[in-house]
Amino acid sequence: MHANVFDRYHDGSSLLHHLAPTVKVVVAVLFILSNALLPDGDWLSFGISWGVILLLNLLAQLGLGFTFKRSFIVLPFTMAAITALFSLPGETLAVWDFGPWHLVATDLGLVRFLSIVVRSWLSVQIAILLVATTQFPDLIHALEHLRLPRMLITVIAFLYRYLFVLTDEVMRLLRARQARSAVLPGQRGGGGILWRAQTAGNMVGQLFVRSYERSDRIFNAMLSRGYQGHIRTFNRHEVIARDWLIMALAIFLFSILQLFAHL
């Protein structure tokens, strides 16, 4: 099974690894909320937030640039906020005409857009750090302790679990297609674009049928083993005094940062 495709947990013995999963989830959500509440263009506060992430990287013994190198995947998705360049009044920076559209980029719009990019970038980094220091079953139990809807938690857990199975199914289909495709040396296998599209469609259909049949077998197997909608783990998830102290310290620091940014 290709577990390394989606699993991003890094085993370790640091303080962050031993922190209660519930506390880590709460602190990560508060960190994201704190960055969302920071004023646009408050680069100093954004820099402080990033410094906190770098410090957490060191505390987790993952290296200073662990989350930094893995966070650039979010940048293409932030282009959805490009309309912020043209949505705020301010000093004109550039003007573009696209047919009936007259677009005017302003300085305040640019600040808003860059602030959205930085907020997204920081949020992804804290999420990467959370996943890297917490095993997925522990994350699921943390969500249960935080009283998220049971059905939503079950869907997330099964989606994560069987992504690995679907990946293996895709790999087997690709190997079977390759084994049945005779290619002469120096020639490209397969036909044109339409042939490749038809082949890909057939593979997707086979994957859907196999997944549907497997889901029925898995459902019956879990019922026969007494599954009642609760995923169990070996960890007890006890929140000790150290965990409460760290969460209180995080809330205090986030409050100070908000006061500093809005004064």
pLDDT single digits (tens) 70-81: 888 888 888 888
pTM for the model stands at 0.77
Is residue 2 situated within a structural domain?
A: no
Q: Given this model, what pLDDT does residue 154 score?
A: 82
Q: Given this model, what pLDDT does residue 113 score?
A: 92
Is residue 242 situated within a structural domain?
A: yes
Q: What is the mean pLDDT of residues 90-114?
A: 84
Q: What is the mean pLDDT of residues 219-224?
A: 85
Is residue 97 situated within a structural domain?
A: yes
Residue, of 11 and 46, whose pLDDT is higher: 46
Length of the chain: 263
Is residue 67 situated within a structural domain?
A: yes
Q: How far is CA 245 from CA 27, 53, 122, 148, 193, in A?
A: 12, 19, 24, 24, 60
Question: Partners of 101 in the beta sheet?
Answer: 98
Q: Given this model, what pLDDT does residue 15 score?
A: 87
**Does residue 216 share a domain with residue 141?**
no
Is residue 229 situated within a structural domain?
A: no
> HSE on the CB side for 196, CA within 13 Å?
6
Is residue 3 situated within a structural domain?
A: no
Domain count, the chain: 2
Is residue 122 situated within a structural domain?
A: yes
Question: Is the pLDDT confidence value at 82 over 90?
Answer: no
Nearest to 37 by CA among 126, 119, 113: 119
Residue 176: domain span = 150-180+192-224
**Does residue 89 share a domain with residue 27?**
yes
The alpha carbon of residue 37 and the mean position of all alpha carbons in its chain are separated, in whole angstroms, by 20
Question: Is the pLDDT confidence value at 231 over 80?
Answer: no
Residue, of 212 and 233, whose pLDDT is higher: 212
Q: Given this model, what pLDDT does residue 95 score?
A: 83
Angle at 218 between CA 216 and CA 223, to 5 degrees: 100
Round to whole Å and give the CA distance between 140 and 8. 15
